[in-house]
Amino acid sequence: MYTLFLDTHNSDIVLVLYYNGKVLDKLIKTSERNHTEFIMPMLDELLKKNNLDVKDLNEILVVNGPGSFTGVRLAVTIAKTLAYTLKIPIKTISSLSMYAVSSNKEKKLVIIRDLKGVFLELYDSKNNSLGDPIYLNNSDFSQYVKSHNYEDIIVENPEIDYNAVYTYSKTQKEANPHMVNPLYIKVIEALKND
């Protein structure tokens, strides 16, 4: 069984091809603002390199955010389209959960920074979320960490364990492709005036 993993939540485009639950191949490219230019050629390259056609895919796994507003939408849109047109299962994993399962810390505060603040979520040793993900501006985040004594449990930019990500995905339910949406935590500027 072939599973395709897509992630565009930050500056990297990540495509991983699994075969029967093990990483078969992966492509990673840093692309600050040109994800749309590279992702489809990368997908084509990944499939051709492994002598596969898109119709050989059996499952889609996509990071649905939080992260870059446009980046998250790109991977989700491609994943939804593939799942719907190929009539194959689709599952989501948040970028925060992906970082959590890639860390060996017991209790962990997983964070993803952007220019103005931090996305964060607290996890236990079994990678169960201990609350909803939130977004704090930089100064509020510093206060939050100090007031909770979380300095030693912060997980930021871990090396991703793609096998652990796949194992975690097996605990997630399949989604209707039409119901898969990006995970936005902070309110975008355009909506603040409404």
| Residues 82 and 114 grouped into a single domain | no
Between the CA of residue 110 and those of 66, 131, 154, what are the distances in Å?
12, 12, 6
| Residues 91 and 178 grouped into a single domain | yes
| Domain contains 138 | yes
Going by DSSP bridges, is the β-strand pair 59-63/2-7 parallel, antiparallel, or unpaired? Answer: parallel
* pLDDT 10s digits, 58-114: 999 999 999 988 899 999 999 999 999 999 999 999 999 999 999 999 999 999 999
| Residues 80 and 165 grouped into a single domain | yes
Residue range(s) defining the domain that contains residue 112:
104-156
| Residues 137 and 152 grouped into a single domain | yes
| Domain contains 50 | yes
| Domain contains 132 | yes
| Domain contains 180 | yes
Domain CATH number, residue 78? 3.30.420.40
**Tokens standing for 187?**
């309110």
At 133, is the secondary structure helix, strand, or coil? coil
Q: Could you give the number of structural domains in the chain?
A: 2
* pLDDT 10s digits, 138-173: 999 999 999 999 999 999 999 999 999 999 999 999
| pLDDT in the model for residue 189 | 47
| Residues 135 and 168 grouped into a single domain | no
| Domain contains 111 | yes
| Residues 89 and 25 grouped into a single domain | yes
Question: Rounded to whole angstroms, how far apart are CA atoms 181 and 39?
Answer: 19
Percent of the residues in the chain that have a pLDDT greater than 90, as a whole number: 89
| Domain contains 192 | no
Element (H, E) at 117: strand 117-123
